[in-house]
């Protein structure tokens, strides 16, 4: 029987957990077991169908494991005996461990819609060969319907039209696309940008049935409308992949995730850890369980889990939830709470907004208007969330806001922020929108003090 100090089950977050372990404990032998032959960059999957041109251009090389001294075993783990500390593979091979990490991720949510199993109806699976087949099939498609107007759906809709003469329709059950992630004004802006490309967006509509005799030919909506479709993409979310953990007797938490503490250690086995989409998450703001699934959270948890395997090193502060996306060339980012979320939990907030070009002067080539919205606690002045839209700088600006939230900075702290600026790279220091949004919140915060 093969043995290792650490066995990691899973893909993307598993790689990070393994690397973190090797950095902190270089003498430990680490084995990573994964079912997939090739690991894809999950956030890059929509771009396979446009910008990057195929799944082969959206992979994480196995050399990353080899360079960090991690052994890779490709195959499916089918059983974990926690008493004997043994993982059994589908081919019968047994692998012993001292510490075990579940990083088994998530699988696409497949709703109980009549006809969901028809040919050319594709959930977004993180599998190389599967996505290659979708890519080749899409070249023959004339009418594509995407169910779900979240990140996956909107990004697929944006990408699939690139280089193709194809009709694309997004069907969203809520009043706004991206409504679960952004405030209405940013949702409307993103939707307008996508509609500029010719994508048809239908909101407040549910799919009642998928039509066709064997192969999909259309989609019937709850309002009675029927849409032509020779391909359907399901982009309505994911569920944790935790069957193996459940069968191993690990305690389950919110929405079928593996229950873990602040050290990413499972509740009922001190030698088993979990991270990523399969692990339970608590909100940074109120400590309550949250179902958010983001690569940024998964990799942070993986670094914490790997570091803690043989000595408690890091604690998880909770899910801040920071993300960015780009729709038809315009970037959108959110960190922490939106105004809608703050209202839902009854938080008393003060809002500051600001706009500025992301170059100075604004007439420089490729300059783009940046819009910033910050939320502060009315009682403490501490930043609770921020939303930004604009050009490419949004991707890093939203990361700055995440750091501000994590360290509980106040509006007064942000007003004193000393930013590095350059005419071609940033907004002017006079109108830097993150700082100016905080400035605008200061007076109402003083009034409420």
* pLDDT tens per residue, range 71-91: 999 999 999 999 999 999 999
Instruction: Give CA–CA dist 300/319, Å, rounded.
Output: 10
∠ CA 284-291-370, nearest 5°, is: 65
Q: Give the pLDDT mean for 410-438.
A: 96
CATH fold of the domain at 2-35+75-107+239-308 = FAD/NAD(P)-binding domain (3.50.50)
For the record, the structure tokens of 324 come out as: 């960015």
Is residue 287 predicted with pLDDT exceeding 90?
yes
Q: What is the CA radius of gyration of the chain?
A: 23
Confidence of residue 11 (pLDDT cuts 50, 70, 90): confident
Tell me the average pLDDT of the chain.
Answer: 96
Residues in the chain: 449
Whether residue 310 contacts residue 99, with contact meaning beta carbons closer than 8 Å, is answered with yes
Is residue 36 predicted with pLDDT exceeding 90?
no
Whether residue 174 contacts residue 163, with contact meaning beta carbons closer than 8 Å, is answered with no
Confidence of residue 211 (pLDDT cuts 50, 70, 90): very high
What's the pTM value of the predicted model, to 2 decimals?
0.95
Give the tens place of pLDDT for each residue, 113-168: 999 999 999 999 999 999 999 999 998 999 999 999 999 999 999 999 998 999 99
Tokens 């509609």 belong to residue: 195
Whether residue 387 contacts residue 333, with contact meaning beta carbons closer than 8 Å, is answered with yes
3-state secondary structure the chain: CEEEEEEEEECHHHHHHHHHHHHHCCCCCEEEEECCCCEECHHHHHHHHCCCCCHHHCEECCHHHHHCCEEEEECCEEEEECCCCEEEECCCCEEEEEEEEEECCEEECCCCCCCCCCECEEECCCCHHHHHHHHHHHCCCCEEEEECCCHHHHHHHHHHCCCCCCEEEEECCCCCCCCCCCCHHHHHHHHHHHHCCCCEEECCCCEEEEECCCECCEEEECCCCEEECCEEEECCCEEECCHHHHHCCCCECHHHCECECCCCEECCCCCEEECHHHECEEECCCCCEECCCCHHHHHHHHHHHHHHCCCCCCCCCCECCEEEEEECCEEEEEEECCHHHHHHCCCCEEEEEEEEECCCCCCCCCCCEEEEEEEEECCCCEEEEEEEEECCCHHHHHHHHHHHHHCCCEHHHHHCCCCCCCCCCCCCCCCCHHHHHHHHHHHHHHHHC
Q: Give the pLDDT mean for 308-331.
A: 97
Closest alpha carbon to 4 in 22, 31, 23, 44: 31
Tokens 């080899």 belong to residue: 66
CATH 3.30.390.30 placement within the chain = 329-448
Is residue 431 predicted with pLDDT exceeding 90?
yes
CATH 3.50.50.60 placement within the chain = 2-35+75-107+239-308, 121-236
Count of CB atoms situated within 10 Å of the CB of 54: 12
Is residue 179 predicted with pLDDT exceeding 90?
yes
Instruction: Give CA–CA dist 266/374, Å, rounded.
Output: 36
Residue 449 has a pLDDT of: 66
254-275 CB burial, b ≥16 within 10 A, e <16? eebbbbbeebbbbeebeebbbb
Instruction: Give CA–CA dist 237/299, Å, rounded.
Output: 19
Q: Give the pLDDT mean for 207-229.
A: 96
CATH fold of the domain at 329-448 = Enolase-like; domain 1 (3.30.390)
Please give the class, per CATH, of domain 121-236.
alpha beta
Give the tens place of pLDDT for each residue, 224-233: 999 999 999 9
Instruction: Give CA–CA dist 314/71, Å, rounded.
Output: 25
Is residue 448 predicted with pLDDT exceeding 90?
no
Residue 446 has a pLDDT of: 87
Is residue 385 predicted with pLDDT exceeding 80?
yes
Chain centroid to CA 248: how far?
A: 27
Instruction: Give CA–CA dist 101/80, Å, rounded.
Output: 11
For the record, the structure tokens of 407 come out as: 């360290």
Whether residue 226 contacts residue 212, with contact meaning beta carbons closer than 8 Å, is answered with no
**Given the DSSP bridges, would you call strands 143-147 and 94-103 parallel, antiparallel or unpaired?**
unpaired
Q: Give the pLDDT mean for 352-378.
A: 96
Residue 250 has a pLDDT of: 98
CB-neighbour burial class of residue 41 (10 A; exposed 0-12, middle 13-18, buried 19+): middle
Distances (CA, A) of 106 to 78, 164, 178, 324, 387: 16, 30, 20, 20, 27
Give the tens place of pLDDT for each residue, 389-402: 999 999 999 999 99
């Amino acid at each position: 029987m093969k043995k290792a100090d650490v066995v990691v089950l899973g893909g993307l977050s598993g790689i990070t957990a393994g690397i973190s372990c090797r950095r902190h404990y270089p003498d430990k032998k680490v084995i990573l077991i994964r079912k997939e032959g090739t690991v894809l960059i999950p956030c890059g999957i929509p771009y396979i169908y446009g910008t990057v041109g195929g799944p082969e251009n959206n992979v994480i090389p196995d050399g990353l494991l080899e360079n960090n001294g991690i052994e890779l075993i490709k195959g499916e783990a089918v059983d974990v005996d926690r008493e004997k500390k043994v993982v059994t593979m589908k081919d019968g091979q047994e692998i012993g461990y001292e510490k075990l990490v579940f990083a088994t991720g998530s699988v696409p949510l497949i709703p109980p819609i009549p006809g969901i199993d028809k040919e050319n109806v594709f959930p977004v699976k993180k599998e190389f060969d599967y996505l290659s087949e979708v890519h080749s099939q899409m070249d023959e498609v004339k009418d594509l319907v995407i169910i779900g107007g979240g990140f996956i759906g909107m990004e697929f809709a944006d990408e699939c039209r690139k280089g193709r003469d194809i009709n694309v329709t997004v069907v969203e059950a809520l009043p706004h696309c991206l409504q679960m992630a952004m405030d209405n004004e940013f949702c409307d802006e993103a939707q307008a940008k996508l509609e500029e490309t010719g994508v048809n967006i239908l909101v407040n509509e549910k799919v009642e049935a998928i039509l066709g005799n064997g192969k999909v030919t259309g989609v019937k909506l709850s309002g009675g409308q029927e849409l032509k479709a020779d391909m359907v993409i399901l982009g309505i979310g994911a569920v944790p992949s935790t069957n193996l953990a459940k069968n191993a007797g690990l305690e389950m938490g919110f929405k079928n995730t593996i229950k873990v503490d602040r050290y990413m250690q499972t509740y009922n086995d001190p030698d088993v850890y979990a991270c990523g989409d399969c692990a339970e998450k608590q909100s940074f703001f109120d400590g309550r369980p949250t179902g958010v699934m983001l690569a940024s959270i998964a990799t942070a948890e993986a670094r914490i889990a790997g570091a803690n395997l043989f000595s408690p090193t890091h604690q998880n502060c909770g899910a801040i939830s920071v993300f960015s996306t780009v729709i038809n060339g315009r970037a959108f980012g959110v960190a922490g709470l939106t105004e809608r979320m703050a209202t839902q939990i009854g938080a008393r907030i003060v809002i500051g907004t600001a706009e500025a070009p992301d170059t100075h002067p604004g007439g420089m080539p490729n300059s783009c208007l940046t819009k910033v919205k910050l939320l502060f606690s009315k009682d403490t002045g501490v930043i609770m969330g921020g939303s930004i839209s604009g050009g490419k700088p949004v991707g890093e600006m939203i990361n700055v806001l995440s750091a501000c939230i994590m360290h509980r900075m106040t509006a007064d702290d942000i007003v004193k922020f000393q930013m590095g600026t350059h005419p071609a790279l940033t907004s002017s220091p006079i109108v830097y929108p993150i700082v100016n949004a905080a400035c605008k919140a200061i007076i109402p915060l003083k009034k409420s003090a």
